[in-house]
Structure 1
Amino acid sequence: MDQSVFIMGAGQMGFVMAAAAVEAGAGRVVVWGPSRESMDELRSTRVSPRLPGWTIPDGVELTHDESVAGECTLLVNAVPTQHVREAWQRFASVNGSGDPDVPVVSTAKGLEIGSGLLPTVVIHEVLPDASLAVLSGPTIASELVRRQPAVVIAASGCPGLPTRVRKAFGTDWFRIYESEDLLGVELAGALKNVIALAAGVCDGLGLGFNAKSALLARGLSEMTRLGVAMGADQATFQGIAGVGDLATTCFSPDGRNRACGEAIARGCDLAEYVESQQCVVEGVPTLRSVLERSQTLDVDLPIMNAVGRVFLEGADPRSAIHDLMTRPSGHE
């Protein structure tokens, strides 16, 4: 069946999904942004300031009119987590409460401030009738728009929906595996951003590869513990959505959360740094929700708690690392 794809969000991942959909053979691909002025500019230049040197494919329509979504068969959530509710409320005001035959695929990675909800849960609150899926994994946008090979996971509890997502977006450079563990895949994408902040601190302090590799290994353990306590499948965290996404985010120079951690370790003011970025640093707003959830579930997260002391309380990074290194140790 010919897919017509509506992508909510004209940021980096929105255009990655658009490029993949065009190449996968979608009959129509539309990217939506909230500002008429910015979308008019994109239509004129066919260049996104967030993806310099890349041209938006001719087959991609650009709009600020959310009613166009009513003409499409597959919807994509590519807006940052903290804007998901507002964006889909705009959609719902025109298009209603969703259609189970027109699923929403979310690429957002984070937890909503205040509620602590994952993006698909937020979307479900706004669109209770929609079928939901997530697409997640190691996705550095600047690599993907150059068609460099990547592997991701499409996950949903709706039978057949991961296959539909794979067929809609899979290409010879964008390989998609399937999973039923929507919670685990989406949660892994959110939690790895917190560990990436810590990885950036390691880089900023020049602690070396031994320390950073240990951080990733122990950080993955914390992600897994919290995920399992919340009902996710442990195996999900050992795959592309977990260790794969974590490694990319923590080692890539383009990783937003890693770069933020590095800047803070070098003395930058957190609020000023976040304000200066064109792209959203999801790990910072996600952090507080993660720590609150871990307390509710009584899950021990020493690394994430140390990140919280640095990013939420202004603790000295070296002091936080010293506290981690001098904790009582035992079996791994």
Structure 2
Amino acid sequence: MKKVTVLGAGSWGTALAMVLAHNGHDVRLWSHRKEQADEINNQHTNDKYLPGIELPDKITGYHDLKQALESSEAVLVVVPTKAIRDVIKQAKQYLTSDQVLMHASKGIEPETHKRISEMMTEELGEQLGEKVVVLSGPSHAEEVALQQPTTVTVSSLKSTEAEKAQDLFMNNVFRVYTNEDFIGVEIGGALKNIIALGAGISDGLGYGDNAKAALMTRGLAEMAKLGVKLGATPLTFAGLTGIGDLIVTCTSQHSRNYRAGFMLGEGYELSDVLDKMGMVVEGVRTTKAVHQLAEIEAVEMPITSGIYELLFEGKDPRQVVDDLMQRGKTNELNALSVDFN
């Protein structure tokens, strides 16, 4: 049994806190909102993010960051990409080199184009940063909270740290693999949110399964192309954090990115969609960052570019689809190829 602090009491942070609690760990679930921490302690619920779910007694809500991290043996960061730096800056003074340091956030930072672990390392320094473990894979928080069978992957620059995270989370309904491809695991988890927006847009326009299957397949090729250019292993994108996460995020109403895309396809403005969602839609921010990064790395990503034009340049969704369908002729194997050198 360990003392584990989870920073971020959204749906995913809460669901992972439940996994840890079911494994017998004492879990401190930190929220930047005192009323949310009070609800967790007094009602054993987190109704905004996981309605109808009763939280285990081993989860204690915290609002004070110092108290939440004091004497913790493991720390899991699960906050939106835009909040990573601020939370890490606040937490840094309370973190120690003997803690297991993990994150389960998915995104890329616009302008800097940094992955989550790179952002954390910049704020923490190399000594702590090189220990960071990423947890990713096809995992809706709603299903994890109900203890439905789920499989994820953990990765770190230090394999011993990944194995520690594996031991913390592994149980008979939450299976955890390790994967040495740290870059690929993070890239897959971030980029699939862009394609999920596209899948929702396609469905919102009233297109069928043929269109969505094509978008997911070609989207996976884009993910792999950029990932490999950045140093990832191609096979990672055929695994849980690639095609696995892509499938679950593109095909379910549990997915915020899919739901946001669906409303965009129906004709809603982006600002209205984000207001209606009431939660962070990581794919929007990630689309901007990846569009910039693809241009820098000279990687052709037509689906990402089309979604960027829709989100940030006001392009009509049907025109985006028309432009994709009318691209020049090519060979599928050439279009799927990635540079292994």
Q: TM-score, normalization: structure 1?
A: 0.96
The one-letter code of the counterpart of 2:122 is: E
The amino acid across from 1:60 in the alignment is I
- Aligned partners of 2:238 and 2:40: how far apart in 1? 39
| Matching residue of 2:280 | 280
Cα deviations by residue, 1:149-185 (Å, 9 ceiling, x for unpaired): 1110001111311211111011111100001111110
Amino acid in structure 2 at the alignment position of 1:38: Q
Distance in 2 separating the partners of 1:24 and 1:66: 23
Corresponding residue for 2:20? 21
Q: Does 1:8 align with 2:7?
A: yes
Uncovered stretches (5+) of structure 2, i.e. residues with no partner: 333-341
Taking a change above 3 Å as real, the CA distance of residues 278 and 44 of structure 1, as seen in their structure-2 partners, is farther
Match of 2:38 in 1: 40
Percent of residue pairs identical:
35
Aligned to 1:109: 106
Structure 1 runs (4+) deviating above 6 angstroms are none
Q: Which amino acid aligns with 1:113?
A: P
CA contact (8 A) 1:24 1:167 kept: no
Query: Residue 71 of structure 1 aligns to a residue in which SS?
Result: coil
2:154 alignment partner in structure 1: 154
Secondary structure of 2:79 counterpart: coil
Supply the distance in 1 between the matched residues of 2:30 and 2:109 (Cα, whole angstroms).
Answer: 21
The one-letter code matched in structure 2 to 1:215 is L
After superposition, the C-alpha distances for 1:242-261 in whole angstroms (9 at most, x for unaligned) are: 00000000001111111111
- Equivalent residue, structure 1, for 2:140: 140
What residue is the counterpart of 2:317 in the other structure? 317
CA-atom RMSD in angstroms = 1.2
* 1:227-253 CA-partner distances (Å, limit 9, x unpaired): 000111111111000000000000011
2:190 is equivalent to residue 190 of structure 1: yes
| TM-score, normalised by the number of residues in structure 2 | 0.93
Task: Give 1:271's aligned amino acid.
Answer: S
Q: Check conservation: 1:77, 1:105, Cα contact below 8 A.
A: yes
1:50 paired residue number: 49
The structural deviation recorded for 1:282 is 0.1
Q: Following the alignment from structure 2 to structure 1, what is the Cα–Cα distance between the partners of residues 97 and 249?
A: 33
Aligned partner of 1:123 in structure 2 is 120
Contact 1:50 1:278 in 2 (8 A): no
Is 1:163 the counterpart of 2:160? The answer is no
1:65 is aligned to 2:64: yes
Equivalence for 1:291:
291
Distance in 2, matches of 1:281 and 1:60, equals 26
Residue 153 of structure 2 aligns to a residue whose secondary structure is strand
Question: For the Cα contact (< 8 Å) 1:138–1:240, is it kept in 2?
Answer: yes
